[in-house]
Amino acid sequence: MMVSFIDAHREVYGDEPICRVLPIAPSTYHAYVAKKLEPTKRSPRFRRDDALGPEVRRVFEKNSRVYGVRKVWRQLRREGFDIARCTVARLMRAMDLAGVIRGKPVRTTIRDKAAPCPLDRVNRQFRAPAPNMLWVSDFT
Has residue 95 got a pLDDT over 80? yes
Most confident of 26-35, 49-58, 129-138: 49-58
User: pTM for this one?
Assistant: 0.61
DSSP secondary structure letters along 47-110? HHHHHHHHHHHHHHHHTTT---HHHHHHHHHHTT----HHHHHHHHHHTT--PPPPSPPP----
Query: What's the rounded Cα separation, in Å, for the pair 18 and 44?
Result: 30
Has residue 140 got a pLDDT over 80? no
Amino acid at 26: P
Per-residue model confidence (pLDDT) at position 129: 86
At residue 66, φ and ψ (nearest 5 deg) are -105, -35
Residue 49 near residue 14 (C-beta atoms within 8 A): no
Residue spans of the domains in the chain: they are: 2-38, 44-94
State what percent of residues in the chain have pLDDT above 90: 56
Query: What's the rounded Cα separation, in Å, for the pair 91 and 87?
Result: 6
Summarised one tens digit per residue, pLDDT across range 4-53 is 899 999 999 998 999 999 989 999 999 888 888 888 888 899 999 999 99
Per-residue model confidence (pLDDT) at position 136: 77
